[in-house]
Structure 1
Amino acid sequence: MVNKKILLIAGGVILADYLFAQINRPKIVYVDNRKNINASTIPPFGIYINKEQVDNELLLKHELVHWEQYKRTGAILFYIRYLAEKMIYGYDKMPLEIEARKKCNESDFCIDNYTECVRSGKALTVSNPNFRKENQSYIEGNKNWTISNSNIHGKGVFLNCDVPDKSIIDIAVGKFFIVTEFGSKINHSNSPNCELKELNDIFIVVSCKSIRKGEEITLNYDKNPNFLQYSEAHYK
């Protein structure tokens, strides 16, 4: 009898949540810059977008698709599905995210590099043969890192071996560190395990603590302002 009452109450709450979603219009709120997050859809409250992205129509369109996803089920079931998909598939391969990208007609490049693309609403890579653009691995003939799904955001760079403190992990030679496979996928952290050393066109990623095999490599973007400048130059 108790279980039946619980089921009835739960069903009533879910039904009320769904009915409210049908009449709930999205409130668009522009907020001060939040590191690593351009926008968030938070049903039933609204869509929160960084003020820096006020003119980014693609980003708003993407978040409005998430709002429509919320209206299909209500907030409770939407959150359950979103969290379950993120745990199972990882952010990049979540069906809800893929649906939003397809409905926004985002390119394959944007699908693979979502955060970088929506930062300016488009992504154009300019090639110049006069620039050196090689990425040289520290371990000769064998990369000591791999790219995989990240718990921080999207894709990340992970170590294939243990690395002691103050070790060179990788060296990039060229004008734009962000263009390299390695540099384009390093995520930000306020407590990074690596730092970026610069010498003209040479970029050296050095560990600032001991890092175990399988751990994700992170940098503090704020302490490497040139990293962001190259990012903006690449994705404008």
Structure 2
Amino acid sequence: MAPSSDSKWIVNDLRNIRDFFVGAGIAIDANDVYDGERGRLTWAPSPGAGSLFQFGVHTTLEDYQYWCLDRQYSLMLLDGSLLQVSYFFTDGQVYSHRLAYIPFPLAGDRTFASAYEVTEFVSNMHPEPSDVALQAVVRFDYDPSNARPGHAASHLTINRSSCRIEVRTWVALPTFIQLVFREFYPELWQAHDFLRGLGTAALLDQQPTFGAYDAPADPHVNWRPAVA
């Protein structure tokens, strides 16, 4: 089954981003897979990704160790941070997604040469309290089938699992990547035209999908529609 419609754009976007990140040394490991028969783009192996907050309502060092050692990510960045990209499609259209930026949990300007180096470091780390960086995971979820009061179809989760800030609609991959690098990696953002020039035709067709439970007047995440 060949990718089509939304799936075609998103699969191609991830392949282009992956190839550029690895070639430019921004990513030190890539772990994405497109399963056209099941209509999903996710990471591999995926024996059950589990909850974002695997051991509680807040992200912990143990959470990061689990994601890192079990390769629960699509891309590992050179500082050890992780990007999780998972889209599910029905008839080529986005049915649900999970997009997460997981910062490396320790303070300091570290860079790693390989995923093996990161896993060795993570397996043996016993940090002092002053070494821990309190950086929240940033996660965008889209799942209309589970929309209910206080749980918008598309939402942003930060700091704790109960936080669900409504988002305009499902998030295209270039939008997510640009947000992460513009806000958290300003030096890389300025250094690479590729990041600033990311775009996709899928953005042109995105319409707001505010659910029946949450009004557009409520605080929410929005953006300017793309212009053809």
TM-score by length of 2: 0.25
Q: Which has the higher helix share?
A: 1
**TM-score normalised to the size of structure 1?**
0.24
Query: Which structure has the larger Rg over C-alpha atoms?
Result: 1
- By relative contact order (CA 8 Å, sep 6+), the higher-ranking structure is 2
